Amino acid sequence: MAGSGDRRVRLVIGIDFGTTFSGVSWGLDGDLGDLGIEVIQEWPGKGNSTTQKVPTVLAYLKKGDTFRWGYQAEGMANAVGGVKLLLDKSKEVLFRPAIDSELIIKGLERKPVDVAGAYLKALFAHAKEILDRRGIGKLMQSMDVQYILTVPAVWSDKAKDLTKQAACHAGIPEADLYLLSEPEAAAIYSMHTIQPNSIKKGDSFIVCDAGGGTVDLITYEITQTDPIRMGEVVEGTGEICGSVMLDERFETFLKETIGKQSYQKMSASSKQHALQRWKVDIKPSYSGPDDEDDLLTEVYTVPVHGIPDDQKKGIHQGMLHMKNEDIKSIFDPVMERIESLISDQEKKAKKAGKAPKALLLVGGLGASEYLFNRLKLRFKKLDIMQPQNAGAVHRGLEGDQVQTRKARCHYGVSMNYNFDRKKHDATLAYWDIYIEKWRVPGCMTWFIKTGDTISEQDPISHSVFRNVPLNFDFRFKDTLSICTKEESPAMENKDVVKHCTLHVDLRNIPKPLFDRRRNSKGLEYYHIAYELVLKPQSACLEFEVVFNDVSYGVAAARYY
């Protein structure tokens, strides 16, 4: 349906896969592009009510593949929540539902990536049903479809790769899938909501994406205003200190207030009602004390069915009466941690000569009025805003608006070098039978350094050389390593961590194109030279194999 022979209509589907809630939006580019961007608001189990988010919860009915998800699964026994956090094993997970879910998943003899894939499949199927209702679904085969899936910037590359695997399990073609960092999606959308005359080239701003699980921070600079183009100023930072940490602190408060034994005696449904009261009514509406007197007068009630009255504990007729100061004590440690992350990001940006002018708060916790009010008091020189977020679709429709990013660690490979008595440990040297020289393994070549400016438009090429016997099958493994220390070591040591194995397959190359050599002993071998090309994207690295200036496809990465 290209219309008058013009280019095909492009459909962009943005998927926000969150720790506690997820969402989907879509937009068109082409003859139907004037329809704008729609955020899906109808969900199974929600009836006629509309909301932009659906719970990231899934409950298997039996040991088979049948399950309920979203609002249909809330409150069900053995419901799996927080599965997103289980995809990143490099982060310590303290969120109880995620810990409980890990045990449930093991009992089902599944893996977190399988459950995440099942949830995304249901989410994707519902999105296609909505598109059918809009008259778009039947036209998808004649469109160029792109899927933009947001992921935390603070996540490890392995976790991002597992997210990609989950999306592919859901039926999303890998070739049509693009991973976008969550703060970058927020930055892209925010630039569409800010008046054009209020920003200028050289302005810098911090994006704080405070979601259900993670809090991501990145500072961007406006490098061009028409069209908008941005670049990262310093390396992004973040932690798992999102809204779920408030839920954990509330549950701890509840246990300590009514007593652990009394809490254990509460039924599962009573605990669920108490937590729902916190999640739905208290947490999102809390704005902090207006003045000192407010600490004494404001009272919040939480149902604690089955717990006897106790005036000292504030329990009366099955209700726990929480004072404003109780809520504040739950919020403050998490708020302070977020403030510290913002302060560190601001200091780094200033040190780079790019003092930020604004702070953009996005994500579920980013919408908190209490957080907003605290940050206004703490960062008085920053213009603090709370824009909505549909940046994934904008990124798909308008291309790469963030053109430069900052590397968060060193990336390199271990190579074998000619032995140098002045540089190398003689006990490591070995005799290379092909080139007839003493060589040393474990010499690091770093092609990306922490803080380096990287771009999708500027792939990074690394030359690889191999000497192999004539009967070799031309499949190679190259290990990519990382280092998070300030200085990258010259040799492999405890600070060098194996990151992933790149599988390179050159079997389709005609053998006459390889360099066949013979040494002084008459030993014949192939000298293979190829390029590993790294393509840094918003939320991941892609690896391409190039031989004699010809691309031989993607090098498959297997993460440790």
295 pLDDT more than 50: no
DSSP label at residue 111: -
Rounded alpha-carbon distances, angstroms, from residue 23 to 83, 178, 397, 448: 16, 16, 18, 34
CB atoms inside a 10 Å sphere around CB 34: 7
34 pLDDT more than 60: no
Residue type present at position 65: D
Is the Cβ–Cβ distance between 247 and 254 less than 8 Å?
no
pLDDT band for position 2 (cuts 50, 70, 90): very low
292 pLDDT more than 60: no
> What pLDDT score does 389 carry?
57
Residue 4 and residue 10: Cα distance in Å, rounded? 15
pLDDT band for position 189 (cuts 50, 70, 90): confident
User: Where is average pLDDT lowest: 132-146, 442-456, 527-541?
Assistant: 132-146
The backbone region for 385, taken as left when phi is positive above 0, alpha when psi lies in -120 to 50, beta otherwise, is: beta
Q: Model's pTM, two decimal places?
A: 0.86
Is the Cβ–Cβ distance between 257 and 429 less than 8 Å?
no
At 42, list the tokens.
């109808």
Segment 314-330 shows an average pLDDT of 92
Residue 127 and residue 25: Cα distance in Å, rounded? 8
Look-up: residue for tokens 């360099």? Answer: 515
- Determine the longest span between alpha carbons in the chain, in angstroms: 94
Virtual torsion, Cα 31, 36, 39, 42, nearest 10 deg: -70
User: Where is average pLDDT lowest: 51-65, 92-106, 331-345?
Assistant: 92-106
Beta partners for residue 445, in sequence order: 413
pLDDT tens figures, 405-429: 999 999 999 999 999 999 999 999 9
pLDDT tens figures, 249-270: 999 999 999 998 899 889 888 9
* Angle (CA) 323 324 330, round 5°: 100
Segment 309-325 shows an average pLDDT of 90
User: How many residues does the structure list for the chain?
Assistant: 560
Label the pairing between strands 497-505 and 556-559: antiparallel
Residue 268 and residue 273: Cα distance in Å, rounded? 9
> What pLDDT score does 7 carry?
65
3-class DSSP string for 401-449: CEEEEECCCEEEEEEEEECCCCCCCHHHCEEECCCCEEEEEEEEEEEEC
The set of long-range contacts for 338-342, using a CB threshold of 8 Å and a minimum separation of 24, is 338/208, 338/210, 338/215, 338/241, 338/365, 338/371, 339/374, 339/375, 339/378, 341/208, 341/215, 341/217, 341/237, 341/238, 341/239, 341/241, 342/206, 342/208, 342/217, 342/375, 342/379
5 pLDDT more than 70: no
Is the Cβ–Cβ distance between 421 and 429 less than 8 Å?
no
pLDDT tens figures, 360-409: 998 889 999 999 999 999 999 999 988 765 556 666 666 678 889 999 99
> What pLDDT score does 441 carry?
95
Nearest to residue 191, comparing CAs of 237, 156, 225?
225
224 pLDDT more than 60: yes
